[in-house]
């Protein structure tokens, strides 16, 4: 029998981890340990422009200091690009993706225009064939977008059932724009890589911050379209700074690194986060 629950922590190494990350990592780690499950680590480093090896090193060091040791191999998304490409190819050949060459300002313009959404589906919708051929010919950059309209034809009403925050929920994508799945210069979107890797790592509980709640509908659509097992989802509170705002990677004082350098012990950090001592 595979272990359960299998939880995970999936940071992007684009800065130092802060107290909010520590909270998420500790919740997931403790939950797995206390219930005889497994805890996985994944480095979400496909955004080569923002991620840096020194931040990845710092992630591993900070987690070790917290007493967190991942089970199994640490997955690095930058090493898995061919797998994401294969999934994109599959979605593309199933008619679920279309090329979008529009710039941000063109998209804003479309959204502002009355009756901006094309009649058939969500904004911005595919280009017409001749225009697409011309833009390809001009070698203009494009993104692949998921046609939610087409997804709705495959998945009844586009609604996916999942266990969310302790209850069975029917989740429907209600965004106004078809989500981006890949860009020409950027091999896979966060959503695509995330669902593929949650399945790859056998994650059966995704427990992450409230700020990621909005990612759920598109991720569930992708799970279903790629026929990947659907984990349960939970959302935890965000850790706020003294100003009452959520912490960001730029808040130096709140990084685990500065917390450590000031000589605090991991137990003090657990108390600051409202977590008791580890039970296992
Ligand atoms: N890499 C994402 C982040 O650091 C986490 C995504 C997730 O937990 O699904 O915000």
Beta-bridge partners for 214: none
Residues in the chain: 280
* CA Rg value for the chain: 20
pLDDT tens-place string over residues 124-168: 999 999 999 999 999 999 999 999 999 999 998 889 999 999 999
Q: How far is the CA of 127 from the centre of ligand 1 (A)?
A: 32
Which helix (H) or strand (E) element contains residue 197? helix 190-200
pTM for the model: 0.93
Q: If you take atom 7 of ligand 1, which residue's CA is the nearest one?
A: 10
Q: Which domains, and CATH codes, for the chain?
A: 6-101+141-272 (3.40.50.620)
pLDDT tens-place string over residues 202-252: 999 999 999 999 999 999 999 999 999 999 999 999 998 878 888 776 676
Q: Helices 190-200 and 81-93 sit at what angle, rounded to 10 degrees?
A: 110
Cα torsion through 205, 158, 212, 16, rounded to 10: 80
Beta pairing class for 167-172 and 159-164: antiparallel
Mutate to test the pocket of ligand 1, among 7, 12, 43 (most ligand atoms within 8 A of CB): 12
Are 180 and 145 spatial neighbours (Cβ–Cβ below 8 Å)? yes
């Amino acid at each position: 029998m595979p272990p359960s629950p299998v939880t995970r922590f999936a940071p992007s190494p684009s800065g130092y981890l802060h107290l909010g990350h520590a909270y998420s990592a500790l919740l997931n780690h403790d939950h797995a340990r206390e219930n005889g499950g497994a805890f996985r680590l994944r480095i979400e480093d496909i955004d080569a422009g923002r991620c840096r090896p020194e931040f990845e090193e710092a992630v591993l060091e900070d987690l070790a200091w917290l007493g967190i040791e991942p089970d199994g191999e640490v997955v690095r998304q930058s090493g898995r690009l061919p797998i994401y490409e294969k999934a994109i190819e599959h979605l593309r050949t199933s008619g679920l993706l279309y090329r979008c060459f529009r710039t941000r300002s063109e998209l804003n313009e479309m959204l502002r225009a009355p009756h901006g959404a094309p009649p058939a589906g969500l904004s911005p919708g595919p280009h017409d064939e001749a225009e697409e051929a011309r833009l390809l010919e001009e070698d203009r950059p494009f993104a692949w977008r998921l046609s939610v309209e087409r997804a709705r034809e495959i998945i009844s009403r586009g609604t996916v059932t999942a266990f969310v925050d302790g209850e069975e929920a029917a989740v429907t994508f209600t965004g106004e724009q078809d989500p981006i799945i890949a860009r020409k210069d950027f091999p896979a979107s966060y959503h695509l890589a995330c669902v593929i890797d949650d399945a790859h790592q056998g994650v059966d509980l995704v427990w992450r911050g409230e700020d990621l709640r909005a990612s759920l509908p598109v991720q569930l659509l992708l799970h279903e379209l790629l026929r990947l097992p659907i984990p349960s989802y939970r959302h935890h509170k965000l850790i706020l700074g003294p100003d009452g705002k959520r912490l960001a990677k730029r808040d130096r004082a709140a990084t685990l690194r500065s917390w450590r350098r000031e000589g605090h012990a991991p137990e003090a950090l657990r108390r600051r986060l409202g977590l008791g001592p580890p039970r296992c």
